[in-house]
């Protein structure tokens, strides 16, 4: 079979089955894995994952805060804010990779004195609504 036909066949197989649905448990498990791999542990692992869920809903492609500052926004699971963290640019799109984003989040946390205060969802306590769900997954 010619190459073009193989590509078409694969595309048809991928799209014929409809969109891939990731369960909440799988989504949380994936965030836990990258957070743990980045260096979060113990109670801070629980809080870090809850913050990611509060910040992005667990969507690694989340892009917010486009109307503040430079307009470049915040990227990925932990919504790393480009204006506050230019060290992760200029290619902020790399923060869409879950592990890259988790590593950046750990660096922000470490540079803040091992504190979650850089995240708005920590300061306003919205992350707390995710703690029980995350705790049951760890």
For 86-98, give one letter per residue: b (16+ CB within 10 A) or e.
Answer: eebeeebeebbbb
Q: What's the CATH code, domain 23-135?
A: 1.10.530
For the stretch 92-136, pLDDT in tens is 999 999 999 999 999 999 999 999 999 999 999 999 999 999 999
58-97 residue pLDDT tens:
999 999 999 898 889 999 999 999 999 999 999 999 999 9
Q: Give the tens place of pLDDT for each residue, 5-45.
A: 444 444 444 444 444 455 777 899 999 999 999 999 999 99
Given a cut of 70, whether residue 3 has pLDDT beyond it is no
């Amino acid at each position: 079979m010619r190459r073009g036909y193989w590509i078409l066949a694969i595309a048809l197989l991928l799209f014929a089955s409809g969109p891939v649905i990731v369960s909440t448990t799988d989504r949380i498990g994936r965030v836990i894995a990258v957070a743990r791999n980045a260096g979060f542990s113990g109670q801070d692992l629980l809080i870090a994952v809850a913050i990611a869920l509060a910040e992005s809903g667990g969507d690694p492609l989340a892009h917010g805060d486009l109307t503040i500052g430079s307009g470049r926004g915040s990227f990925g699971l932990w919504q790393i804010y480009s204006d506050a963290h230019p060290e992760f640019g200029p290619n902020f799109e790399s923060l869409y990779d879950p592990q890259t984003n988790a590593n950046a989040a750990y660096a922000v946390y470490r540079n803040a004195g091992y504190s979650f205060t850089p995240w708005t969802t920590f300061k306003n306590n919205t992350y707390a609504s995710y703690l029980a769900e995350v705790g049951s997954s760890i």
